[in-house]
């Protein structure tokens, strides 16, 4: 028998552009309905598990609340379930797959989420790995769309580390006909294999690297930054602080950007390091709404994964 394909979201490479547009349209529709007090039970009695190897506020709480709002529920699984410690990955995953409809996994290594998905026991959603953070990128483009009125040709300039967040945002912009520029010091560029995969799948992608941050932001519609030292890189903190010293998003950098430019940060931020209080708290900053959009984006994703028919019957993509 041919194995039944299970749809995963380990990265945005797992879906097509039309799928992404459908998810985002669903997210926006559900966001509007929530604002009107409407919480439709689209995932009635569905259950997801959250399997996290690292701390989280946004990803954990937004998946749990989003699932509850849709009429389903979620289980947060800590270290005590013994993932990778008490039993074989095959036994663990196939047993878990009989209990839950999907798993959101935050893993230290991307290979861990790939292993979890390899048994096709349930859909696996990447809740952040060292390689990428697809749920973050979906919330980010939703935020850009709300602030700037669309996706097409909008230019996100990421100032800082070419990390998991930068890599997902770069891919997501390529899928939506946006522009992406990374401004980083040498040795902190995005993974070359990742960039090659983007170029192969989306030949019209407009992705650039510009070393000088002041030059990089000159045509920015949104300026995005993230921590200089990601979770798990603590030993490199001193070297990273030195390398990124000229890449702080501060008022001087904002003065080099167009006045309409918005400010994004995936959070948590180290205020005073990669971004100043004056900028993150400015009228140009969308970071709080951006974090709120994590829940809306993921509700769209969950409905797309677990009740596609509802989308076919209720949502027209744009
Ligand atoms: N941005 C983000 O993923 O936040 P958490 O680490 O708090 O989930
Ligand atoms: N780049 C950061 C993002 C946290 C949401 C990290 O991986 O720690």
Say how many CA atoms lie within 13 Å of 269 toward its Cβ.
22
133 to 113, 128, 221: CA distances (angstroms): 12, 4, 21
Residue 106, beta-bridge partner list: 52
Considering every ligand atom shown, identify the ligand nearest to the alpha carbon of residue 132 and give its number: 2
- Report the predicted TM-score, pTM, of the whole model to 2 decimal places: 0.98
pLDDT reported for residue 274: 98
Contact 134, 9 (CB under 8 A): yes
* Phi, psi torsion values for 282, nearest 5 degrees: -80, 170
Cα 141 to averaged position of ligand 2 atoms, centre (Å): 18
Q: Whose CA is nearest to atom 1 of ligand 2?
A: 230
CA distance 16 to 9: 11
Cβ 183 under 6 angstroms from ligand 1: no
Q: Which residue has the tokens 């935020």?
A: 143
Residue 18, beta-bridge partner list: none
CA distance 93 to 106: 15
Cβ 165 under 6 angstroms from ligand 2: yes
Read off the pLDDT of residues 179-203 as tens digits, 9 standing for 90 and up.
999 999 999 999 999 999 999 999 9
pLDDT at 1 exceeding the cut of 60: no
Cβ 163 under 6 angstroms from ligand 2: yes
Q: Which residue has the tokens 């407009």?
A: 206
Q: Whose CA is nearest to atom 2 of ligand 1?
A: 58
| Other residues' Cβ atoms within 10 Å of the Cβ of residue 201 | 15
Cβ 25 under 6 angstroms from ligand 2: no
Catalytic residue chosen out of the listed positions 46, 265, 294, 296: 294
Whether the predicted interface score ipTM is above 0.90: yes
Q: Determine the longest span between alpha carbons in the chain, in angstroms.
A: 62
Contact 87, 103 (CB under 8 A): no
Considering every ligand atom shown, identify the ligand nearest to the alpha carbon of residue 62 and give its number: 1
Does residue 106 have an active-site annotation?
yes
Read off the pLDDT of residues 230-287 as tens digits, 9 standing for 90 and up.
999 999 999 999 999 999 999 999 999 999 999 999 999 999 999 999 999 999 999 9
Q: Whose CA is nearest to atom 3 of ligand 1?
A: 59
Does residue 133 have an active-site annotation?
yes
Does residue 110 have an active-site annotation?
no
Read off the pLDDT of residues 124-139 as tens digits, 9 standing for 90 and up.
999 999 999 999 999 9
* Phi, psi torsion values for 102, nearest 5 degrees: -165, 160
Considering every ligand atom shown, identify the ligand nearest to the alpha carbon of residue 52 and give its number: 1
Pocket test for ligand 1, best of 50, 55, 56 (most atoms within 8 A of CB): 56
Does residue 136 have an active-site annotation?
yes
pLDDT at 318 exceeding the cut of 70: no
pLDDT at 298 exceeding the cut of 80: yes
CA distance 160 to 147: 22
DSSP state of 275: B
Pairing of strands 124-126, 102-106: parallel
């Amino acid at each position: 028998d041919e194995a039944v394909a299970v749809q995963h979201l380990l990265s945005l490479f797992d879906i097509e552009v039309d799928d992404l547009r459908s998810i985002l349209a669903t997210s926006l529709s559900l966001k509007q309905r929530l604002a009107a007090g409407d919480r439709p039970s689209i995932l009635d009695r569905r259950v997801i598990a959250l399997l996290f190897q690292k701390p989280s506020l946004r990803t954990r709480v937004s998946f749990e609340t989003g699932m509850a709002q849709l009429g389903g529920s979620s289980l947060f699984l800590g270290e005590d379930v013994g993932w990778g410690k008490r039993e074989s990955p095959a036994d663990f995953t196939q047993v878990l797959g009989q209990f839950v409809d999907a798993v959101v996994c935050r893993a230290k290594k991307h290979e861990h989420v790939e292993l979890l998905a390899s048994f096709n026991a349930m859909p696996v959603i990447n809740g952040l790995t060292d390689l990428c953070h697809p749920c973050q990128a979906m919330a980010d483009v939703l935020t850009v769309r709300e602030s700037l009125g669309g996706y097409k040709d909008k230019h996100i300039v990421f100032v800082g580390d070419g990390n998991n967040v930068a890599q997902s945002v770069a891919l997501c912009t390529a899928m939506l006909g946006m522009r992406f520029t990374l401004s980083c010091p040498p040795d902190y560029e995005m993974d070359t294999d990742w960039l090659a995969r983007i170029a192969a799948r989306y030949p019209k992608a407009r992705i650039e690297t510009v070393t000088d941050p002041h030059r990089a932001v000159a045509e920015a519609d949104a300026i995005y930054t993230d921590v200089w030292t990601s979770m798990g890189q603590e030993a490199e903190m001193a070297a990273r602080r030195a390398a990124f010293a000229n890449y702080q998003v501060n008022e001087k950098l904002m003065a080099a950007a167009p006045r309409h430019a918005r400010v994004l940060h995936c959070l948590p931020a180290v205020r005073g390091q990669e971004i100043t209080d004056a900028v993150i708290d400015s009228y140009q900053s969308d970071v709080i709404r951006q974090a709120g959009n994590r829940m809306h984006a993921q509700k769209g994703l969950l409905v797309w994964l677990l009740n596609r028919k509802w989308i076919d019957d209720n949502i027209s993509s744009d």
